[in-house]
Copies of this chain bind each other. A is one copy, B any other.
Amino acid sequence: MNSNPLIPKELKHYFTLGLSIDCVVFGFDGEKLKVLLIERGDSPFKGYWALPGDLLAPEKDLNSSVNDVLNNLTGLNDLFFEQVETFGEVDRHPFGRVLTTSYYTLVKISDYELNPASFACEAKWFNMEDISELAFDHNKILNTCFDKLQTSIRIKPIGFELLPPKFTLTELQLLYEAILDVKLDTRNFRKKILSMEFLINTGDLQANVSHRPAKLFEFDEMRYNSIKEKGFSFEI
């Protein structure tokens, strides 16, 4: 049960820390950037909305626990995570010394319709722009993760993680506009993204839309990896 069997006695005082994992789950509904929050059922901050998170068990690796933490709370699984920052102010948790390592991840909202039964607790998507006071220092964590998302999405093709497997160029553009909070020129955006040559035109078209149906594209990860190895760099 003791995770630190060989630690000298005089250092025992240092082995009293708790470390939590907090996760910012971003989603996109086709219009606005969303964040998944859970309602706290326990003290402290009972009743507040918070980032999904939990304590790290001493017998588990840090990075590989993130998926489990999120899965337990929300049923989400098999996501990619990016570690962002570790927050360690002494007074950030009112009950004791708990540091937290933050991560963000991106989910296709459509894949995970929020079925309340599948959640261990109340979970809800919020518009990024509507989020007010969260538990602990979670507003600060959220903002840091959002900044990281904004820089990452401009240099790595991670946006596709937020869209269904087949998507239109307009959907992709709306996603970039929502995350970067800018208006992009349609022609220039298409020229640029298509010039990168890792989008496959599936040949399929949108169905049941009362206007000219858009072509559906797929992200070709194999192709992206192969051109990336040749020194190609993604940038929007």
Contact surface of A with B, Cβ cutoff 8 Å: 1-7, 11, 13-19, 55-63, 83, 85-90, 94-99, 101
Contacts and interface: CB of A to CB of B under 8 A. Distances in A.
Interface on chain A toward B: helix, strand, loop, or mixed SS? loop
Contacts of A56: 14, 17, 88
Given A2-B16, A4-B18, A17-B17, 9 more contacts: A5-B95, A5-B96, A6-B94, A14-B55, A14-B56, A15-B18, A19-B19, A61-B89, A63-B88
Given A18-B7, A83-B85, A62 B13 contact: no
A88 to B, nearest CB: 3
A61 B89 CA distance: 5
Contact of A6 (B58, B96, B99): B96
A58 B97 contact: yes
Contact of A4 (B62, B86, B88, B95): B95
B58 A17 contact: yes
A97 B61 contact: no
